[in-house]
Amino acid sequence: MPPIQGLQNASKAYARVPDSGGPIVESKTGELGTHLLLLLAAIIWGSTWAAGRFLSYGTDGNSSATLEPATSAWLRYVFAVLVFFIWYLANRSRGVFRFIPPDAESWRLSIWLGIFGTMCYQLFFMHGMSWTAAGDASLIVSLNPVFTVLLAAPMLDQKITGRMSLGLIIGITGVLVVVGWSPNSDIPFNHRLIGDLMILMAALSWATTTNLTKILLSRKSDVSPLEIVVWYSFIGWVLLTPWMFFEIWSSGIPTPSYSEWATVAYLGVISTVLAYVLFAKGIEVIGPTAASSYVFLVPVFGVIGGWALLGENIGASMIVGFILIVVGVGEVQKQSERVLNG
């Protein structure tokens, strides 16, 4: 996805996209359609957890995955980068975006973004999904905005207050509830623990990506969030290549099924590209604050997707954990806004 993780913070920057055609439009015209498109984006991003579990593990012990984690991620970005490149060629005369960074500093930050936002995130995500349930992971990773604010202290010199620390404790408590009392007890606890820790590392990777994006946007006024996504998608895809070759050298050339190919294409084209565009367009019409509220629906659809597509269980611990995580994230973000606004 872009991982939706961190979009609450990144969404404010979307208002600056050069090809948006002007300032944010807050009129009622088309608002209903826009809300439906944002809902669709949340559903798409929520479904990526079940898709990731399917590619990494299979549907059950009798139907295992044929693609290794890094290979799945690499193929996903083959589709994504190809779509971005076709989009770039189709709109090159209009100057919608630049396919590669224009200067040394943009390259340097984009390489770091490719490392954390694509390579590290995808490796932790795909490996994590081979060990834990899709619903559990979608709830755990929603703690990402808390990590974003905490990492902003060393990366952006942002102050950490006592209320932020309280929010962190509440959010982590929610994660512990999900991990310790998951209804998906058919997966051994030690397996789920390994997977959940990897998903937390994925959240940390994306939190780093969010702050690096803020740094690049603050230093380069002519750079848009769309360009940044394209740049680190391409660079991250290149960085995933050695991991993919190592897996093929270790396990042989895979023979994916039609459903696996379709899932990879879905993640690359629909989740990575289309959902991003829907979200960006939503911000143009209803503004970043209203649009970012749909991000909180993603874990809900992640749990529903795991239940509907993979037969995972839904239990009270998920509801309690989700509420605690949302309360913790909300408190951290509220205090962060107060610090930033003086």
Provide DSSP, 36-68.
Answer: HHHHHHHHHHHHHHHHHHHHHTEEETTEE--S-
User: What is the Cα–Cα distance from 272 to 266, expressed in whole angstroms?
Assistant: 9
Percent of the chain as helix, strand, coil, to the nearest 5: 75, 0, 20
Q: What angle do CA 258, 244, 43 make, to 5 degrees?
A: 50
Contact 312, 137 (CB under 8 A): no
Per-residue pLDDT in tens (0 to 9) along the chain, 342 residues: 444 444 444 444 444 333 433 333 444 546 778 888 989 999 999 999 999 999 999 876 566 788 999 999 999 999 999 999 998 888 887 777 788 898 899 999 999 999 999 999 999 999 999 999 999 999 998 888 888 888 888 888 888 888 888 988 998 899 999 988 999 988 999 999 999 999 999 999 999 998 999 899 888 878 888 889 999 999 999 999 999 999 999 999 999 999 999 999 999 999 999 988 888 788 777 777 677 778 888 899 999 999 999 999 999 999 999 999 989 888 887 888 787 776
DSSP 251-277: H------HHHHHHHHIIIIIIIIIHHH
Has residue 56 been placed in a domain?
Answer: yes
Task: Output the pLDDT for position 342.
Answer: 65
**DSSP, res 5:** T
Domain span at 49: 7-19+28-340
Residue 225 makes CB contacts below 8 A (sequence gap 6+) with 10, 13, 14, 16, 17, 213, 217, 280
Sign of CA dihedral 133, 138, 139, 141: positive
Beta-sheet strands, E only, within 143-264 = none
Has residue 1 been placed in a domain?
Answer: no
Q: What angle do CA 311, 58, 51 make, to 5 degrees?
A: 75
Q: What total of structural domains would you count in the chain?
A: 1
Has residue 2 been placed in a domain?
Answer: no
Contact 9, 156 (CB under 8 A): no
The answer to whether the predicted template modeling score (pTM) of the entire model surpasses 0.85 is yes
SS3 for 315? coil
